[in-house]
Amino acid sequence: MDFNLSEEHEAVQFAARDFAQNVLSAGIIERDNDQKFDKALIKKMGDLGFLSMMVKPEYGGGGMDTISYVIAMEEISKVDASAAVIMSVNNSLVCWGIQAYGTDEQKEKYLTRLSSGDEIGAFCLSEPEAGSDATSQHTTAEDMGDHYLLNGTKNWITNGNSSGICLVIAQTHPEKGHKGINVLIVEKGSPGFTVGRKEDKMGIRASDTHTLMFTDVKVPKENRIGEDGFGFKFAMTVLNGGRIGIAAQALGIAAGAFELSLKYAQERKTFGKPISDHQAIQFKLAEMATRIEAARLLVYKAARLKDLGKDYIQAAAMAKLFASDVAMWVTTEAVQVHGGYGYVKEYHVERMMRDAKITQIYEGTSEIQKLVIARELLK
């Protein structure tokens, strides 16, 4: 086993760190307050290749491996988790799904647009009554011969308003249950496609999260990904990979909070010496670093298995379960290390604590991850 990064991976790490520290860091508190993410920053992410890292070069992507992706996700999440989730959805769920299962025509038409940053994607699975129970799809895609007629509502959609291309999971054959579900590529601006309310969230506030509504939206048959009834399997497969990205996001949030705490502890003085000289603080820092390193190894293992073409379902679930818990614990401790300063926005760790919580919920709650792990163990 080689725990050293290759030169290529080190280059990715440097580029992502440089972008996060020198570009994303500016205005981050304002973006959180205003609940807005600058479109120019999305375009910059596209220009630098962060929106299509695993997409093949012929479609405008970087053609990189999953390890490169999680390295970049960690560095960007250290600074701005909202930017990271925009990046994660576009890479893990939308681009990867189209590249893995789309037709050549779909890849040519959509991947090039998603890679550039001119447009970003959204993954539309969750509904008012279909969160963890993804089989309960009430959005319908009625087969009309040469097109589908799409009706329904999707909730909690990341990039809901800023996206131009949506992958929508909908039920076509209710009598077949989850085997009657399809996935359709739906473009923003289609008649009957309406963007609903924006959610006022606790964390990742600069990332827009909206309700999307579809009323008799005509979707051409050629916009269906895979065979008729492939939608549920598609959704579960891309989510397995997406969990690696969210685990990397959680890892980055934790690592960023730790780095701020380590710096603060060496600068802040009490009783005539830096608080890092106090054993109570030293113990916190030691446990933070240990848990983060353990999470990083789990994330890298899942990414490596995916790159090798091996079964990574259990590893991805373990990585997300553990890394999200680490993110929540480390950020809470980071606020404690900072004391009163940790409770104000200027020192960033309070935002990181708010951002960390969602990693235990989206793309499969921690409880769902435990079910996945148990299922894999008991096969």
* CA gap 341, 63 in Å, rounded: 43
Q: Please give the Cα distance from 210 to 196 (Å, whole number).
A: 6
Only one residue has tokens 């708010």, namely 354
Distance CA 71, CA 14 (A): 10
C-alpha to C-alpha distances, 21 to 24, 26, 27, 50, 351, nearest whole angstrom: 6, 8, 12, 15, 16
Q: Which two tokens stand for residue 222?
A: 């050629």
Residue written as tokens 């893990």?
A: 92
- Is 363 among the residues known to form the active site? yes
Active site residue: 10, 333, 363, 376, which one?
A: 363
User: Can you tell me the distance from the alpha carbon of 6 to that of 9, in angstroms, rounded to the nearest whole number?
Assistant: 5
Q: Tokens 């030691």 appear where?
A: 286
Measure the CA–CA gap between 285 and 186, rounded to whole angstroms: 47
* Polymer length in residues for the chain: 379
Closest residue by Cα to residue 168 from 178, 153, 189: 153
What tokens does 173 get?
């054959």
Which positions are annotated as active-site residues?
363
